[in-house]
Amino acid sequence: DAGITQSPRYKITETGRQVTLMCHQTWSHSYMFWYRQDLGHGLRLIYYSAAADITDKGEVPDGYVVSRSKTENFPLTLESATRSQTSVYFCASSGVAGVAGELFFGEGSRLTVL
Amino acid sequence: DQQVKQNSPSLSVQEGRISILNCDYTNSMFDYFLWYKKYPAEGPTFLISISSIKDKNEDGRFTVFLNKSAKHLSLHIVPSQPGDSAVYFCAASESNTEYGNKLVFGAGTILRVKS
Q: With contact defined as beta carbons under 8 Å apart, do B78 and B84 qualify?
A: no
Query: For residue A84, is it left (φ>0), alpha (ψ between -120 and 50) or beta?
Result: alpha
Which burial class, exposed, middle or buried, applies to B1 when counting CB atoms under 10 A from its CB (0-12, 13-18, 19+)? exposed
Q: Are residues A100 and B31, on separate chains, in Cβ contact within 8 Å?
A: yes
Q: What distance in Å separates the CA atoms of residue A83 and residue A103, rounded to the nearest whole number?
A: 28
Give yes or no for B101 touching A (CB within 8 A): yes
Sort B105 into a burial class: Cβ within 10 Å, 0-12 / 13-18 / 19+: buried
How far apart CA B93 and CA A99 sit, in angstroms, is: 9
Model pLDDT, residue A39: 87
Q: How far is A39 from chain B (nearest CA, A)?
A: 7
Residues A65-77, mean pLDDT to the nearest whole number: 96
Instruction: Determine the distance in angstroms separating the CA of A80 from the nearest CA of chain B, rounded to an integer.
Output: 26
Highest mean pLDDT among A89-93, A95-99, B97-101: A89-93
Stated as kind and residue range, the H or E segment containing A9 is none
Report how many Cβ contacts below 8 Å link chain A to chain B.
72
Which 3 state secondary structure label does DSSP give A61? coil
With 60 as the cut, is the pLDDT of residue A98 above it?
no
Q: What is the pLDDT of residues B63-80, one digit of tens each?
A: 999 999 999 999 999 999
What's the pLDDT band for A24 if we cut at 50, 70, 90?
very high
3-state secondary structure B16-80: CCCEEEEEEECCCCCCEEEEEEECCCCCCEEEEEEECCCCEEEECCEEEEEECCCCEEEEEECCC
Q: How confident is the model at residue A99 (pLDDT cuts 50, 70, 90)?
A: low
- Of the partner residues B32, B89, B96, the one whose CB lies closest to the CB of residue A43: B89
- What radius of gyration, in Å, describes the C-alpha atoms of chain A? 13
Average pLDDT, chain A: 92
| Exposed e or buried b per residue across A34-72, where buried means at least 16 C-beta atoms within 10 angstroms of its C-beta | bbbbeeebbbbbbbbbbebeebeebbbbeebebbbeebb
Q: For the segment A26-63, what is each residue's pLDDT rounded down to a tens digit?
A: 988 889 999 999 988 899 999 999 888 999 999 999 99
Percent of chain A with pLDDT over 70: 93
Mean pLDDT, 10 residues at a time, chain B of 115 residues: 92 98 96 94 94 96 97 98 98 79 92 97
Inform me whether the C-beta atom of residue B109 falls under 8 Å from chain A C-beta atoms: no
Q: In sequence order, which residues have a C-beta less than 8 Å from that of residue A67 and are 6 or more positions away?
A: A55, A74, A75, A77
Q: Which residue from A33, A40, A99 is facing B100, i.e. has the nearest CB?
A: A99
pLDDT (0 to 100) of residue A1: 59
Question: Do the chains contact at B100 and A96, CB–CB below 8 Å?
Answer: yes
pLDDT at B48: 95
- Position A100 scores a pLDDT of 59
Nearest-angstrom CA–CA distance, B41 and A77? 22
Contact between A72 and A23 (Cβ < 8 Å): no
